[in-house]
Chains A and B, each alone.
Chain A
Amino acid sequence: GAGVSQTPSNKVTEKGKYVELRCDPISGHTALYWYRQSLGQGPEFLIYFQGTGAADDSGLPNDRFFAVRPEGSVSTLKIQRTERGDSAVYLCASSLKGQGTEAFFGQGTRLTVV
């Protein structure tokens, strides 16, 4: 595709449920980032992949959050036992090589936990 694609665009789930958010990066981009953004705040870093491996997962808030990128392309952010505080827009970005190269963002997935 032409850009970074995130699905679903909106997700409403009940407290305690499990959710998966998908990111399709730009083809050929080795770096992939996940961010979380609350209203009025800047994007908060969650995790960064270089290829298939997580180069930095220091932003994951707790062990309920997990992300994978098994083939170095599509990535899935997984949230277990969702809480109302997890409600936010989850943004994915990819870049050709990582730091130093332009990052392209998707439109985000708006997650609402009720």
Chain B
Amino acid sequence: LAKTTQPISMDSYEGQEVNITCSHNNIATNDYITWYQQFPSQGPRFIIQGYKTKVTNEVASLFIPADRKSSTLSLPRVSLSDTAVYYCLVGDMYSSASKIIFGSGTRLSIRP
């Protein structure tokens, strides 16, 4: 399983764009990249998933360079409610026997 490395914490202000980068140097050909968000006292929630280049949904964008050794989650115009822990995961998209492994995540704090 590819190991991920991401910053322990980040701070930003309301209205700013926040970019959280995750390193996954030994990502495998079949691995895809997924980000989850977790609020206190809740289970993690899926945000976005991608394999290469750029993926965008109503919540965030995911940028993946050609070598796929890193990825960046981009949150546009954050608000106080975006304060949460964000987890970057990599896993085999074709193996139904693979478990989903979480790292320590990035604790994002948004200030007024």
A residues with a Cβ closer than 8 A to B are 4, 31, 33, 35, 41-45, 48, 50, 55-56, 58-59, 91, 93, 97-100, 102-108
Closest partner residue, chain B, to A58 (CB atom):
B99
Annotate B80-112 by CB proximity to A: 1 below 8 A, 0 otherwise.
000001010001111111111111110000000
Among candidates A31, A42, A106, residue contacting B87 with C-beta atoms closer than 8 Å: A42
- For the complex of A and B, the 5 pairs showing the least CB-CB separation, nearest first, are A105-B43, A98-B96, A100-B93, A99-B98, A42-B102
**Chain B contact patch, size range:** 20 to 34
Within 8 Å CB of A50, what residues of B? 96-97
Within 8 Å CB of B13, what residues of A? none
Among candidates A56, A97, A100, A105, residue contacting B44 with C-beta atoms closer than 8 Å: A105
Query: Are the C-beta atoms of B46 and A103 separated by less than 8 Å?
Result: yes
Report if B42 contacts A (CB, 8 A).
yes
Within 8 Å CB of A59, what residues of B? 99
Query: Are the C-beta atoms of B99 and A33 separated by less than 8 Å?
Result: yes
The A/B interface has a contact count, at CB < 8 Å, of: 76
Query: Are the C-beta atoms of A102 and B46 separated by less than 8 Å?
Result: yes
Report if B45 contacts A (CB, 8 A).
yes
Q: Which of B45, B97, B103, B104 has the most CB of A within 10 A?
A: B97
Within 8 Å CB of B97, what residues of A? 48, 50, 55-56, 98-99
Report the bound CA distance from A71 to B97 in whole Å.
Answer: 18
Within 8 Å CB of A100, what residues of B? 32, 91-96
Query: Are the C-beta atoms of B104 and A41 separated by less than 8 Å?
Result: yes
Annotate B14-37 by CB proximity to A: 1 below 8 A, 0 otherwise.
000000000000000000100000
Within 8 Å CB of A104, what residues of B? 46
Chain B min CB distance to A82 (Å): 22
Query: Are the C-beta atoms of B102 and A35 separated by less than 8 Å?
Result: yes
Report the bound CA distance from A91 to B32 in whole Å.
Answer: 23
Within 8 Å CB of A99, what residues of B? 91-100
Query: Are the C-beta atoms of A33 and B46 separated by less than 8 Å?
Result: no
Report if A103-B104 is in contact (Cβ < 8 Å); known contacts: A91-B43, A108-B43.
Answer: no
